[in-house]
Structure 1
């Protein structure tokens, strides 16, 4: 059964910061929805169930902590990270008392934000496993699913093992013998190594690059293959 990538809502009134956060979250394998104010957020939450919200406190119209408190009063239990310039002890306490699960102050480090996002998603049970990325490919290891951008690509078990091996060793030349052992394992004792691996890679190519425009794989004559 197909599942969706975890979605994160960001409410941030500075557009450049919003775009920066969205870019890095998407790069880390998440789906995002950005808002420049709290307007329309409740309507969105009536239709969607994001895994996490990142909320600024200095927002037009409604202050961020007040908005989260309002959501909590209506039963929304979505985890919230406050990301704000409000950095006094009393403001931090206010953020947690309003229903925040974590609190970061600006200026902030993107890597730290991503780590905090992952920590909260793991605690909430939303993030149960590892994701690895290469270019526009996102591989969900625990669910054994592949996405190109946000589009689910159905793979066989062998195809999943094959692309996982390539992504974990991207930009490295993988010898055919290595691929045979990693992907086919004990079942590979008696098969035509060159032909079987070539056919498997060609089938995978047709699924992830049907037009041949992205050139994920490079054949290295006499050695094996490389994912670029």
Structure 2
């Protein structure tokens, strides 16, 4: 599906509404991750690269728009749709000032929400391209084909970059060597044997995690590798 690499965070403290939103997003082909409060969301943002957030304003702990304002302050520009029962003009204005991009008042139509998600993604350019993918200490720039670790550029060959990009698109999923050949080597993969794939992964590991502190690569017996 066209949307399957688009990850959407939903923060909603009413579990039935959270499940309803997740169901409709996944039906449209998006990947949805739900949270009942703002707790753990920042850690998730550090490790994943979601394209959009749907945030209820009435949350336990930190109010939704305050949390978004905080994220904006520390540098996250991820698009945000607020869900709210707060629909007075002053409250709407407050939400936009704190970093909201769109608003839906409760009760809302799930169909309208998915249409607004699509429109906001299109407006922000996420449906056309993702410029950067972040995971743990790694950031890859898909426009320049550069890898950054803690702001420092790490030189990679084209093959190594393609290999890393493939793994970062499929975090925690076992990938076969055949799949890696198709994705990273492309039409040149026909003459590449399993040992050459192992060697390439080992070279990549030595560049991005020489001391194996992050332990990114995990052999999967009888399958291939997964990146974690």
For this structure pair, what is the TM-score category when the shorter chain's length is used for normalisation? 0.5 to 0.7
Q: Which residue of 1 aligns with 2:119?
A: 119
Q: Which residue of 2 aligns with 1:52?
A: 52
Distance 2:35 2:50 in 1: 13
Report runs of 4+ in structure 1 exceeding 3 Å deviation: 150-154
Which structure would you say has the larger Rg?
Answer: 1
Scaled by the length of structure 1, what TM-score is found? 0.55
Distance 2:16 2:75 in 1: 31
Shift in Å, 1:124 = 1.1
Shift in Å, 1:57 = 0.4
Q: Which residue of 2 aligns with 1:170?
A: none
Q: Which residue of 1 aligns with 2:95?
A: 95
Shift in Å, 1:128 = 2.9
Which deviations, in whole Å up to 9, do the C-alpha atoms of 1:26-45 show, x marking residues without a partner?
00000011000000001111
Instruction: Give secondary structure in 2 for the equivalent of 1:37.
Output: coil
Distance 1:93 1:113 in 2: 20
The answer to whether residue 21 in structure 2 is matched with residue 15 in structure 1 is no
Matches of residues 203-214 of structure 1 in structure 2 within 5 Å? none
CA pair 116-50 structure 1, distance change in 2 beyond 3 A:
same
Scaled by the length of structure 2, what TM-score is found? 0.55
Matches of residues 32-181 of structure 1 in structure 2 within 5 Å? 32-128=32-128
CA pair 19-74 structure 1, distance change in 2 beyond 3 A:
same
Distance 2:27 2:63 in 1: 29
Q: Mind listing any 5+ residue stretches in structure 2 that lack a counterpart?
A: 130-172, 183-228
Distance 1:128 1:29 in 2: 16
Q: Mind listing any 5+ residue stretches in structure 1 that lack a counterpart?
A: 130-149, 157-228
Count of matched residue pairs:
134
Shift in Å, 1:4 = 5.8
CA pair 104-16 structure 1, distance change in 2 beyond 3 A:
same
Instruction: Give secondary structure in 1 for the equivalent of 2:126.
Output: coil
Distance 1:49 1:36 in 2: 19
CA pair 23-4 structure 1, distance change in 2 beyond 3 A:
closer
The CA RMSD measured in Å over matched residues stands at: 2.5
Shift in Å, 1:46 = 0.8
